Structure 1
Amino acid sequence: MDLLGKARAHVDSGAFFAELATLVSYPTVSDAPEGRVAIEAYLDEVLTPRLKALGCEVTTHPNPDPAGGPFLVGVRTEGDDLPTLLCYGHADVVGEAGQWRDGLDPWTLTADGDRWYGRGTADNKGQHLINLTALRLLLEERGTLGFNLKFLFETGEEIGSPGLTEFAARHRNLLGADVLIASDGPRLDAATPTLFLGARGGVRITLDVDLRPDAYHSGNWGGVLRNPAATLAGAIASLVDGHGRIQIPELLPPELPDTVRAALADVVVDASDETWGDQRLTPAERLYGWNTLEVLALGAGDPGRPVNAIPGRARAVLQLRYVAGTDVGAVAPAIREHLATRGFPMVGVTADATFLASRTPVDDPWVSWARQALDGVAEKPVTLLPNFGGGLPNHVFTDVLGLATLWLPHSYPGCLQHAPDEHLLAPVAREGLALATALFAAVSSAPPIPRR
């Protein structure tokens, strides 16, 4: 049986499912004290043995940010004249926000047809187990990888990767490589193997209209007392209209690069409402190549038990999802100036960047190499996305470490990550293991590509 056949058979035999069940059983929730204990056990009992089995020297590093957990690094060196591959994964998962359906427990892997349910199956334990398994199969087949390997695991991705940027900056030599290959996030869809090159960033924007400590009778004061809820609604509508179109140029990227437009030309996105968003762009361009401003929360008074009174305060939380090239530092000042000129100086604005946008250029040599390596392995052509729609700490690898970044996701948009009933699809795991094995096998024969 050839190498890719062994990869597929590893999933078909149930061996991969059994391994994943062990990983899922660790409740590695990064925002809970008991989860921190589970994370340490996961590093010691799950990841360290698997990295050592790959011939890696394994070290644990404290986080420079007390809000985050430790980092685990495995290094296997085969030769100074060989390419060096950096891989990445995160050991932590989100906490429970809701009830899983009957018969499912988040910490017990459960198969129901092609769906494997359990917390972390898609985000990120199933994904990094696929890559660890692909590397092991390659090593067993060849007796050598044919390249140097570095594997970085963080333990706080679900809480914003605290300390990761500083850790990478301090340890550039330890993490130095020629290219990053990692797996997180979803494919374009369940049936479409996907390669993406970066991530959109996010800015959380809070709008506060805090006019008075008390609510006043609407009959006695209506028409003469400013209503903070109506004020807030008007302010929001001046930022993003009722059809999802951003109204401030400063909240948009300077352009949609031709290379990005070309990469997305054949990408089909199922848009449930074709009238939503900037109609000058295709759904794929809106999702992967452009910025969106979403209202995440909106409140004033008590909608469940309204009273005949004008509330004293209203608040909304918005999020700007943005692509590389956007001037994030201009967001809050631009919003304040915009609102003031439109008669809303009483609206307070705060903005915090939760993660940064970044992408590897579509025409980077590593991109064409990866697509060629994956040709013929997948059941259908691999879709290339300049970045995916969500957020990842990709900027740490592109901007701090100067690497080309190749993300080969092993999940799909309907996996319910961060929600009850998270699951991994068995066919995606099977194909993903074959794709990862083929990509890693090709690293040893990659043409010399100068480091960025």
Structure 2
Amino acid sequence: MEEVKNYFEQHRSSHLSQLKEFLSIPSISADPDHKPDMGAAASWVEGSMQAAGLENTAVMETGGHPVVYGDWMHAPGKPTVLFYGHYDVQPADPVELWETPPFQPDIRDEKIYARGATDDKGQVFMHLKTIEAFMQTKRELPVNVKFCIEGEEEIGSPNLDEFVEKHRELLQGDVLLVSDTPMLEKGRPTVCYGLRGLAGIQIDVNGAKGDLHSGLYGGGVANPLHALADILASMHDDSGRITVDGFYDRVLSLTDQERRAYAELSYDEESTRKELNVPELFGEEGFSFLERTWARPTLEINGMHGGFQGEGIKTVLPSAASAKITCRLVPDQDPDEIVEKLTAHVQQKTPKGVVVNVTPFDKGRPFVTPFDHPAIQAAGRALETAYGTTAAYTRMGGSVPVIETFSQILNVPVALMGFGLPTENFHAPNEHFHLENYDKGLEALAEYLMEISENL
């Protein structure tokens, strides 16, 4: 490993220049005007794969932006690590809030500033340089590797499910390694082994054929806003538990080992309360803040609309009201089943005098790799070696449906070893990546390949 570490140090300047080149490409997947840039970024990734020593590289077409593939399969009897990442980035707006132009990378205070620096070009680049370091110093890799780098993650990966299904044999491996999640905090390397899923609905409540004068009709016609308020209030009890029938039927409980690991993180709930400026934290009784936000399901009202929204008062009885709801799901909850249960609950709680429709929206399955899986524990050891401190084992409260896609279709364990920090402004102006984590992350990724070679 010393040769590999020395290679990173000796080539740091030239590698960062290459990273700047990659970050200079405005590969914004959401904007059709940047389609040529998407092609340029895909070609750049393929060229970097070839330079690193990967074989069978290809820019593979999809129904949208292409996927870039490459592999090296010359380690007989050793596991195969599949790397996933994305080369597309978020729009840079509002550009005027950037201190330096978003696609003119700038290094200051040992941070590199650019759109995509941390999400996810910088971390994809680290994977490529890890391969290059082994190939340049040892002329071989300790494991077999495959790369799948897509160009649509920032728009929801609409074509990736079909791509993975179509190419499942090509992409098959023994572990999926992803660097696109944040560390717990500065100096605290983190292995994420689970993500929550998602189920979203919109509730539309309709009453009279049009808005009515509340003096003429109030008290004689059902008010859709009142009906909506009743429906929404019926979804939780006073202790924060969700009251939708059957909502918790499939929920897998945390293991004692997981609960101990979360407790050992010594998370400061009071600091969070003060930072958020709320009188107290709130949630399902019997669980800590981390358990509630990482490993318990939720039902949240994301927005409500109805009636007069302007300044002052308009004495109107509105004809319609609506609300948007999303649920974060945990293993083994099924988003389709949850939508069915939500719909049944709404229908059961609909007051007289109104008509209610439920429309499903975003869905994504939760995933978890067992906490004690060798691929997860290997990640912890690799991070501890690189950072010189014990790694945190976490789940994430958010949802990344593409990870569940790989988990389900390829049936592989997933290790999420991200090196960004929550404070690095991904999706916001002045996105940046701490070079401390770039350096230590390279070492951790190299250590992980060695760990997997011997322990999977």
> Considering the TM-score relative to the shorter chain, is it more than 0.5?
yes
Distance 1:338 1:438, change over 3 A: same
Change (3 A) 1:257 1:133: same
Match of 1:9 in 2: 9
CA gap of 1:299–1:436, structure 2 versus 1, over 3 A, is same
- Is the 8 Å Cα contact of residues 202 and 321 (structure 1) preserved in structure 2? yes
The answer to whether 1:173 aligns with 2:169 is: yes
Q: Please identify, of 165-174 and 303-312, the stretch whose mean Cα deviation from structure 2 is larger.
A: 303-312
Question: What secondary structure does 1:264 align onto?
Answer: helix
Q: Cα gap change, 1:219/1:426 in structure 2, threshold over 3 Å: closer, same or farther?
A: farther
Deviation at 1:404, TM superposition (A): 1.4
Q: 1:33 is aligned with what amino acid?
A: P
Distance 1:75 1:333 in 2: 42
- Specify the alignment match of 2:265 in structure 1: 267
Kindly state the Cα deviation for residue 423 of structure 1 after the two structures are TM-superposed: 2.2
Looking at structure 1, the residues matched to 440 and 31 of structure 2 have their Cα atoms a distance apart, in angstroms, of: 34
Structure 1: runs of 5+ lacking an equivalent: none
Q: Which residue pairs with 1:48 in the alignment?
A: 46
CA contact under 8 A between 2:198 and 2:363: conserved in structure 1? yes
User: Are 1:34 and 2:33 an aligned pair?
Assistant: yes
Separation of aligned partners in 2, 1:10 and 1:227 = 71
Q: Which moved more, 1:94-103 or 1:323-332?
A: 94-103
2:155, 2:267 → 1: CA distance?
A: 29
Of 298, 301, 318, 1:311 maps to 318
1:59 shift after superposition: 1.6
Q: Following the alignment from structure 1 to structure 2, what is the Cα–Cα distance between the partners of residues 222 and 7?
A: 77
- Most deviating of 424-433 and 270-279: 270-279
Q: Which residue of 2 aligns with 1:290?
A: 296
2:379 corresponds to 1:370: yes
State the SS of the aligned residue for 1:349.
Answer: strand
Residue 186 of structure 2 aligns to a residue in which SS?
A: coil
**Shift in Å, 1:414:** 2.3
CA–CA distance in structure 2, aligned partners of residues 396 and 429 of structure 1: 28
Amino acid of the structure 2 residue aligned with 1:187: M
Q: Does 1:333 align with 2:340?
A: yes
Query: CA shift at 1:229, angstroms?
Result: 2.4
Within the candidate set 154, 157, 180, 1:158 is matched to 154
Q: What's the CA shift for 1:410? A: 1.2
Residues 184 and 409 of structure 1 are in contact (CA less than 8 Å); yes or no, is this contact kept in structure 2?
A: yes
Q: Tell me whether 1:121 sits opposite 2:117 in the alignment.
A: yes
Q: Which of 211, 216, 234 is 1:215 aligned to?
A: 211
What is the TM-score normalised by the length of structure 1?
0.89
Q: Which has the higher helix share?
A: 2
Q: CA deviation at 1:368?
A: 2.6
Distance 1:357 1:224, change over 3 A: same
After TM superposition, the score normalised by the length of structure 2 is: 0.88
* Cα separation, partners in 2 of 1:409 and 1:15, compared to 1, 3 Å: same
Change (3 A) 1:348 1:270: farther
CA 1:346–1:324: 2 relative to 1, 3 Å: same
What SS is found at the alignment partner of 1:150?
strand
Residue of structure 2 equivalent to 1:197: 193
Are residues 54 and 111 of structure 1, via their aligned partners in 2, closer, same or farther at CA, if it must alter by over 3 Å? closer
Q: Name whichever of 331-340 and 46-55 sits farther off.
A: 331-340
- Number of aligned positions between the proteins: 442
Native 8 Å contact 2:80 2:175 kept in 1: yes
Q: Deviations over 1:188-207 (max 9, x none)?
A: 22321001123211112111
1:360-417 Cα deviation digits (max 9, x unpaired): 1112222233333333321321111245533241222221111111110011222222
Displacement after TM superposition at 1:325 (Å): 0.8
Q: Distance in 1 between matches of 2:125 and 2:131?
A: 10
Q: Distance in 2 between matches of 1:229 and 1:420?
A: 38
Q: In the superposition, relative to structure 1, how do residues 5 and 354 fare at CA in structure 2: closer, same or farther (>3 Å)?
A: same
Match of 2:408 in 1: 399
Q: Which residue of 1 aligns with 2:91?
A: 95
Preserved CA contact (<8 Å) 1:244 1:293: no
Counterpart of 1:208, as a letter, is: D
SS in structure 1 of the partner of residue 386 of structure 2:
coil
Contact 1:138–1:441 (Cα < 8 Å) also in 2: no
Aligned-pair distance for 1:225?
2.7
Is the contact made by 1:110 and 1:116 (CA closer than 8 Å) also made in structure 2? yes
Kindly indicate whether residue 216 of structure 2 is the aligned counterpart of residue 255 of structure 1. no
Change (3 A) 1:185 1:375: closer
Using the TM superposition, name which of 312-321 and 362-371 deviates more.
Answer: 362-371
Q: Please, which moves more after superposition, 74-83 or 152-161?
A: 74-83
Q: Give the secondary-structure state (helix, strand or coil) at the position aligned to 1:119.
A: coil
Question: 2:297 and 2:38 mapped to 1: Cα distance?
Answer: 35
Distance in 1 between residues matched to 2:100 and 2:402, nearest whole Å: 31
- Whether the 8 Å CA contact 1:263–1:386 is kept in 2: the answer is no
Q: Does 1:324 align with 2:331?
A: yes
1:240–1:3 distance in 2 versus 1, CA, 3 Å: farther
